[in-house]
Structures are given as C-alpha cells and as structure tokens.
C-alpha cells in the first residue's frame, strides 16, 4: 500500500471523528450540571390531647355453681336476667349491654380426677352515658345478683375530639426543632417534603372493681382525665 493511500485513510478517519465531535461543541456552555442529593432535615414532634370522658364501660357478671352443668347454666341465666333488668331499670338502654364472656367449666374434687360440680359464668359490658349514674348502675346490678366485676373503662364518645388541634401542635413542635437545627447548620427551612403521622394512643384508665361487688352503696366513682399522644414525623427541604 502506497504512502499516499495510507495518509488518505488516516485523513478520512480524522474527518469522521471531527464530524462526530462537532454537535457536542455546539451545546450551550451555560447548562448547569445535574443536581446532587437534596438536603433535608427530618424531625419528629408530638402533642398530648387531654379530655374529660363522657362514657364509662363497666363489666359485670354472674357466677353460679351446681352439681350438673345444665342446672349451673339455668341458675346463671336466671340471675343474669335479673341483673340485666336491674341495669335497664337504672337507666341503661338494652342496646348498650353487650355479652363479652360466657363460660362453663367442670370443678374437680380434691383428688383432681372426679368432677363434683360445674361453674357457669356470664359477663356483660355495660355502656353508661351518664357518668353521674355509674355507681348507681353497679349497685343495682349487685343487688339483683351480679357477683362478678371486671372493672370500669372511661372513654370518649367522639374519639377524634381535639385531634386536629393536637396534630397542628405536633407539626409546630416539629417545625420549631427543625428551624433550630437548620439555623445551627447555616441553612433555612424550605418546603415540606413529607409528613407521616405516628400516633401512639395511651391506654384508657381501667379501675379494677374485681372482688369488690359487696362494697357499701353508693359506689363512689371519680372519672379521670383521659390522655392520648399524637406524633408526626416531618421532612423539610433545606435552602
């Protein structure tokens, strides 16, 4: 191959390379580089809702014992009917009485091998909407034959009461912390990137009345203040 022919091929290759490079040379020189990871700050805030309850759920029941299972159940049903009628007479609607537990168990003699009787239990949950009558309802049920008590749970009929204000307070709590962190880092808060609610409900107080069914009337009942905590996690962009 002649020298002139080799130089011709080399010139063709260089020409193609220059042609392919020309479009990139024509791009605007001011195009910004691809942006990196967005700077953010993630903070959790919380607030507590405090409310006065307007409902109470009391657990009452009847326990009976007899040598035969059928008779134990019959005696239990008769006494439970009287207790429920007494609760209704005390001002509770039948729709606010719900069966929560029914049980029938054998009872063995001292040897542990022979059944000598049967124990029947029936328990209901009664919702009392007038808190001034909770003690009266308990007394009427016990007088009618109830001999089991599982405690009192106080609650709100509207469980969302106060929640919007508490959520707003939780977000403000998070913002205050985020602003302090941003200022310490020489930055400013930008727009909210995300908000996540991470509420944790505090369990309602339960007053144990088990084994106190024979206390003197009237039964004193003092409703407590209910508390529930709401928490949020907020992510802000930093500028």
> pTM of whole model > 0.85?
no
Residue 232 confidence (pLDDT): 95
Residue 170 confidence (pLDDT): 95
* CA nearest to 74, candidates 85, 59, 62, 89: 62
Residue 36 confidence (pLDDT): 61
Q: Which fold has domain 53-157+204-219?
A: Alpha-Beta Plaits (3.30.70)
C-alpha 33: how far from its chain's center? 47
Residue 204 confidence (pLDDT): 58
* CA nearest to 83, candidates 147, 7, 172: 147
Residue 220 confidence (pLDDT): 86
Domain ranges of the chain: 40-50+161-201+231-238, 53-157+204-219
Residue stretches of the chain with pLDDT short of 70: 1-36, 199-217
Residue 143 confidence (pLDDT): 94
What digits encode the pLDDT tens for the residues 194-207?
999 976 655 555 55
Burial 142-153 (b: 16+ CB within 10 A, else e): bebbbbbbbebb
Q: State the virtual CA torsion across 58, 212, 137, 152 in degrees, nearest 10.
A: -20
């Amino acid at each position: 191959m002649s020298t002139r022919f080799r130089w011709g091929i080399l010139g063709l290759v260089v020409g193609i390379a220059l042609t392919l490079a020309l479009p990139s040379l024509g791009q605007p020189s001011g195009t910004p580089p691809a942006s990196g990871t967005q700077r953010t700050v993630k903070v959790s805030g919380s607030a507590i809702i405090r409310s006065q309850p307007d409902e109470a759920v009391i657990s009452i029941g009847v326990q009976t014992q007899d040598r035969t299972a059928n008779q134990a159940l019959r005696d239990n049903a008769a006494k439970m009917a009287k207790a429920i009628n007494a609760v209704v007479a005390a001002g509770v609607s039948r729709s606010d009485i719900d069966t929560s537990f029914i049980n029938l168990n054998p009872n063995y003699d001292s040897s542990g091998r022979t059944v000598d009787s049967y124990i029947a239990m029936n328990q209901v949950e009664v919702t009392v909407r007038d808190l001034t009558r909770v003690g009266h309802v308990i007394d009427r049920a016990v007088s009618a034959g109830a001999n089991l008590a599982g405690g009192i749970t106080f609650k709100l009929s509207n469980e969302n009461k106060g929640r919007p204000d508490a959520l707003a307070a939780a977000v403000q709590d998070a913002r205050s912390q985020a602003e302090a962190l941003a200022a310490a880092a020489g930055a400013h808060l930008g727009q909210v990137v995300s908000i996540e609610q991470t509420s944790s409900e505090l369990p309602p107080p339960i007053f144990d009345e088990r084994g106190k069914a024979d206390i003197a009337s009237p039964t004193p009942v003092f409703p407590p203040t209910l508390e529930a905590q709401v928490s949020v996690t907020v992510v802000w962009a930093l500028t």
